[in-house]
Structure 1
Amino acid sequence: MGGLLKSSVAKKFAMALSGLFLVLFLLQHFTINFISVISPDVFNEISHFMGTNFLVQAILQPILIFGVIFHFIMGFVLEIQNRNARSIGYANYKGSANSSWMSRNMIFSGAVILAFLGLHFYDFWFPEIMHKYIESHPEDPTRYYEETIAKFENPIRVGVYVISFVFLMLHLLHGFASSFQSVGFNNKYSKGLQGFTKAFAILIPLGFIFIAVYHYINHL
């Protein structure tokens, strides 16, 4: 069992599972944020529930943070292993002839996303912790919408968000589909699933870009 857990196959399987978990979170996160475009009141209600529910805060949130850290650590580990394997076994290896730009640069797009997550935590998670646990403000279920759109008043920050979501798109275009391959999903539905993963990889990041640009333009 120890040998299995140390194998590249096991690491790819574990990374694929963590990636699929993060995709589910991404969809949930997009759905809630898109509601801010439709109805500020509903957005406040959902955000207040998510921010005060014990299950979300004490169980799901730590699991999510662990999933993010685990996914990126496994990505770096596998990238190092792949680079070492290529340098030893393929003296004349030409990546562009055997794989797409997205697959060859997953570590780069992943690093950009990780940096963006740091900014996102700085923008939203840290202020939330300060508001609730350090400054001990009274609970205000109507504050979430205004606090969210205030982050998109700065055009530079909006530009950073847009660029980050473009890299998220590139990361998902290869990573989402390959996750299913890594967990052994290979049957008559594979072609349709591949089309779905590509559509998801394009539409969800574009949706996030739309939200950021919408709030920026709407409050000029």
Structure 2
Amino acid sequence: MGGLIKSSIARKVAMALSGLFLVFFLLQHFTINFTSIISADVFNELSHFMGTNFVVQFLLQPVLIFGVVFHFIMGFILEIRNRNARDVSYARYDGGANSSWMSRNMIITGLVVLAFLGLHFYDFWVPEIVHKYIEFAPEDATRYYGELVEKFESPIRTGLYVISFVFLGLHLWHGFASSFQSVGFNNKYSVAATKFAKAFAIVIPLGFVVIALVHYFNH
């Protein structure tokens, strides 16, 4: 097991698998949030189910948190090892010659996304924990929509969300597509998979931006 963990290939595969895992939850999160600009009642119903379901709260949620932590820690480890492995100085290193800006700056976009997750936890996850497990407030299946739109009353907070989703798109543009290669997905469907990943990296972050802006301007 120790040899597997030390293997550069194993680290890349672990990074890719954790990224694909998080992409699935990102899609689920987007689907629920998108209903908030269509129907407040539907959004409340879905959010109430997610917020009270035992499997979601006590099984899937801890797994998700572990996945986020694991993905970013593994990303930092890969970045540090890649920098240490270079045998040329930065003065002579021309990174743009054979790689894109996104691939060379995954650590930067990742740090922005990580900072956004901190803000997101502060806005939604922490108040939810306080509401249910500290204050022991009575259940209210209609509170979720109001709590969501309240976060987008501030232009500063809305702007931070928009900027964060732009960086999320940049992170996904390289990360999602390269994850297929890292897990050995190299066949006649690989080109289609890469195109799907690129489209996902545009559509989903843009969808989150639309959600934020719709709620902001509706105020």
TM range (shorter): over 0.9
- TM-superposed deviation, 1:187: 0.5
Deviation at 1:136, TM superposition (A): 1.1
Give the equivalent residue in structure 2 for 1:117. 117
Cα displacement (A) at 1:90: 2.8
1:70 paired to 2:70: yes
Q: Partners of 1:25 and 1:136 in 2: how far apart? A: 27
Deviation string for 1:146-202 (max 9, x for gaps)?
011000000000000000000000000000000010000000111111111000000
**Alignment-mate amino acid for residue 59 of structure 1:** L
Equivalent residue number for residue 36 of structure 2: 36
Q: State how far apart, in whole Å, the 2-side matches of 1:136 and 1:147 are.
A: 17
- Tell me if 1:47 matches 2:47: yes
Q: What TM-score does the superposition give when structure 2 sets the normalisation length?
A: 0.98
* Residue in structure 2 matched with residue 181 of structure 1 by the alignment: 181
* Structure 2 residue aligned with 1:90: 88
Corresponding position of 2:13: 13
Q: Which residue of 2 aligns with 1:22?
A: 22
Secondary structure class of the residue paired with 1:65: helix
Structure 1 position 214 matched with structure 2 position 190: no
Seq. identity, %: 76
Q: Which residue of 1 aligns with 2:59?
A: 59
Q: Tell me which amino acid in the other structure corresponds to 1:56.
A: V
Q: For 1:113-139, what per-residue CA distance to the aligned partner results, in whole angstroms no more than 9, with x for missing partners? A: 000000000000000011111111100
Where structure 1 has 5 or more consecutive residues not aligned to the other structure, the ranges are none
Moved more, 205-214 or 91-100: 91-100
Q: Could you tell me how far apart the structure 2 residues matched to 1:197 and 1:53 are?
A: 31
Displacement of 1:2 in angstroms is: 2.1
RMSD: 0.7
Alignment of 1:151-162 (within 5 A): 151-162=151-162
Distance in 1, matches of 2:137 and 2:195, equals 47
Number of the residue aligned with 2:143 = 143
Paired residue type of 1:156: I
| Larger deviation, residues 129-138 vs 90-99 | 90-99
Q: Distance in 1 between matches of 2:164 and 2:55?
A: 30
State the 1:4 CA deviation: 2.1
Distance 2:3 2:129 in 1: 41
- Aligned letter for 2:12? K
1:177 counterpart letter in structure 2: A
Partner residue of 1:190? 190
Give the distance between the partners of 1:157 and 1:8, measured in 2 at CA. Answer: 39
For 2:133 and 2:153, locate their aligned partners in 1 and report how far apart those are by CA, in whole Å: 26
